[in-house]
Structure 1
């Protein structure tokens, strides 16, 4: 391997369900050991445990003494990996990012590792069949997009959520392709392969479940745990990283990394798992299941993200406030008490949706989500006038968007026909006369009504036209 590696993507700051309807804690042994430990040494872990962000640890004795003492001894380096198998992270990944943010807020340094190399192999964990192979170009595009998303979230956290006098740790984004590109197959297997044992690799749950399946498991997938283990080893050697975060389905991969490092240099390292975000029927939320709520605006708008959390069941909201926000637990309890006193106001739901949207999309994204909510659900003409073309197209993602030249004397029926919103002939005319057409939330009964600025055409040059209950059309008027 080359003596020095240049990371393909990196930024550093230095500053001086039901998705889990109940609070998900650590396994009983982890929880009890944390409480038996000296509080002076386990404050961060206890806090994450109370919020439900930690699920398990490896090795198990880490929770009793070594890891809390390590965290108390000074700034440590923690990493979490994200394979760019899509061009955006999703809500299922957000909890891992939030875990890194908590460590950073406590003064520790965090590494967000993008798997530009491992995405081309495919993690078999939790998969019933092999991933579709991605081209190098697709992985590079996905990596760039996810890097920007992670950078945005960390920036938003620092701007809007970090109000502690404690100095933030650094953030570094890495691409593991940078340390694999100079390896040959023979070199990697010769140097690193000898440290892995077939019996241990075959015993992993992700391997066993696939070996019993009809399609079996390819050699490519089987080697994934070797590469993730080496990632941990490489980050340990180059960044002094001793802690890895991952979902509960990553426990086997975390164990492989621990075993490799322990076998090669004898250093003790630690793995921490976080709960998986699941749907109301218990399925993991993500791109494979087809139920992903994305973190990039072009795939899931701020409005859609806001509504996703706003619509969570009452039984989930307290747990989500602890998991997905940085509100003090006392404030969460106070919010829940207010919600119980007046459930109709849904104060806890609204706060949850606002906090997550601001973290992911910033203050402007939250304001956009609220404008869209007012425009759609509260029939606010003012909100419509304040919306941009982009926001309208996000809000009515399936609605046709038309740019029309406004000609003198243009009527309601003319407009409807030019965008094919109504049938030709008498039937279309009758629909307007019967009140089936709405313009900017106001019903119209006059087909020959000439369009009036500020009534039919908003000050931003837009018209929202609806036919029936669900057929929306967006019109951008030119030459006003």
Structure 2
């Protein structure tokens, strides 16, 4: 009979509220641990054991994984990266696992249908892209923290380029494992009844699409990852979203069963009497407890219940070639009053007291939107660095000038001093930016250009914007659908900014 783990919650079930409250009591210690910091910021959804609070009082190792379903991460992936950054800032070792192996399988958690299989070539491209991106995130994160007085390596010591964060690919330790070896190892130590009880599996079993054996085994592969990192890197904690609870517990269970089996085999080897033998699946007892823990973070949604990380139906990427720093900045700048305090705690390292203070000030003057501006600046600098933030701020001033044009000036003051090279640096890679020869727009009405470059769906929509006075070109109101962009009207001889109101823009760099 399998002995129950002394500190695992029932496998496959979410952490009960009562147990969560008990966990939170451990956060009241005088010494502020990384768990206390994360809990104050709303990071902790559940823990597999309250003993984790004591465990993190000494340096430990934690990992979180990302599957390379695309060549870039998006803002929805930021929370686990930030969680690893918090651990690293407190002197622990962080590991980011790239799922080169599991990415070819697909995690069924939170999905109603099976993922589209990636080709070997596409998967390799995605793994390289995300690996480079993670290294960059921790490099910019190191600079970000140092500027705010959070010294990772101690005073007077230079931090490593990526702060010593390890980035690993699980393909490296699974590529040479045969099917028979896997079945005799993790397969033999896993129970089908428990696997079937996982919410990710149960939900798919009752759906019309069902679940393939491939995705059914995903939880074993993720458990194998935790077991491998536990043995090879001394990694004692896995962190993931709330939907990863079952997979995390599977890893803890596999670690305990594997270690129990090893100890039993050693005992059997040393015993002369057959009567002392134990079952090969018995877990380690209390006196030989194996340290392996899980931490889940909440699945983030907006105050309206929408999935976080979508902008007009499109993902907001961390790759500046897919989402420019300017668009990234604007995404966070558009945060609602209902969400901004929560996001400041989750996505920045600002002290809680400072966040509370700025929110109190915000209540007196909401129109200034100071918390939103602070949030956008902090997260943009964290992800894209100081240079990326400078580009974003310049782009914001170009698109939304703080000084409005007057009848005498005819143009916003920033447009008068703007250099085309600055516009190129601020907007290159932005979906609204188009670097083209002047010949491509010559003799074409602005109303037609709006349709060609996606500002309007039709000439009729463009004409309606003109008649309402909302279509402008370099701060000049367009009154005639036949008006064209002329060389003499360009900013610095190259730049044309076409806008409909304050929410839709085109930026042309005309060579």
Using structure 1 for the length normalisation, give the TM-score.
0.81
Return the match for 2:150 from 123, 148, 164.
164
Q: Which moved further from structure 2: 315-324 or 229-238? A: 315-324
Q: In structure 2, what is the Cα distance between the partners aligned to 1:334 and 1:468?
A: 34
Q: Once the 2 structures are TM-superposed, how far is the Cα of residue 37 of structure 1 from its aligned partner?
A: 6.4
Return the match for 1:335 from 342, 358, 362.
358
Q: Once the 2 structures are TM-superposed, how far is the Cα of residue 400 of structure 1 from its aligned partner?
A: 5.2
- Check conservation: 2:434, 2:507, Cα contact below 8 A: yes
Return the match for 1:264 from 235, 258, 275.
258
Q: Once the 2 structures are TM-superposed, how far is the Cα of residue 387 of structure 1 from its aligned partner?
A: 3.2
What are the Cα deviations for residues 100-146 of structure 1, in whole angstroms up to 9, with x where unaligned? 00000000000000000001101000000111111111111111111
Q: Is 1:359 aligned to residue 392 of structure 2? A: no
Partner of 2:436: 402
Unaligned runs of 5+ in 1: 1-24, 407-412
Q: Is 1:421 aligned to residue 405 of structure 2? A: no
Q: Is 1:458 aligned to residue 458 of structure 2? A: no
Q: Once the 2 structures are TM-superposed, how far is the Cα of residue 72 of structure 1 from its aligned partner?
A: 1.4
Return the match for 2:109 from 109, 113, 125.
125
Asked which structure has the greater RCO (Cα within 8 Å, sep 6+), the reply is 1
Partner of 1:203: 197
Q: Which moved further from structure 2: 75-84 or 414-423? A: 414-423
**Alignment CA distance shift 1:373-1:418 (3 Å):** closer
Partner of 2:35: 45
Q: Once the 2 structures are TM-superposed, how far is the Cα of residue 464 of structure 1 from its aligned partner?
A: 2.8
Q: Once the 2 structures are TM-superposed, how far is the Cα of residue 36 of structure 1 from its aligned partner?
A: 4.4
Q: Once the 2 structures are TM-superposed, how far is the Cα of residue 360 of structure 1 from its aligned partner?
A: 1.0
Q: In structure 2, what is the Cα distance between the partners aligned to 1:434 and 1:39?
A: 62
Partner of 2:98: 114
Superposition map of 1:434-445 within 5 A = 438-443=472-477
Unaligned runs of 5+ in 2: 1-14, 154-158, 260-283, 285-289, 402-411, 452-459
- Check conservation: 1:149, 1:296, Cα contact below 8 A: yes
Superposition CA RMSD, Å: 3.4
Q: In structure 1, what is the Cα distance between the partners aligned to 2:200 and 2:466?
A: 60
Return the match for 1:345 from 358, 361, 368.
368
Q: In structure 2, what is the Cα distance between the partners aligned to 1:434 and 1:37?
A: 58
Partner of 1:69: 54
Q: Once the 2 structures are TM-superposed, how far is the Cα of residue 477 of structure 1 from its aligned partner?
A: 4.0
SS across alignment from 1:271: strand
Q: Which moved further from structure 2: 104-113 or 372-381? A: 372-381
Using structure 2 for the length normalisation, give the TM-score.
0.76
Q: In structure 2, what is the Cα distance between the partners aligned to 1:160 and 1:367?
A: 14
- Check conservation: 2:325, 2:380, Cα contact below 8 A: yes
- Check conservation: 2:71, 2:125, Cα contact below 8 A: yes
Q: Once the 2 structures are TM-superposed, how far is the Cα of residue 296 of structure 1 from its aligned partner?
A: 1.2
Q: Once the 2 structures are TM-superposed, how far is the Cα of residue 311 of structure 1 from its aligned partner?
A: 1.2
Q: In structure 2, what is the Cα distance between the partners aligned to 1:108 and 1:299?
A: 32
Partner of 2:296: 273
Return the match for 2:120 from 126, 130, 136.
136
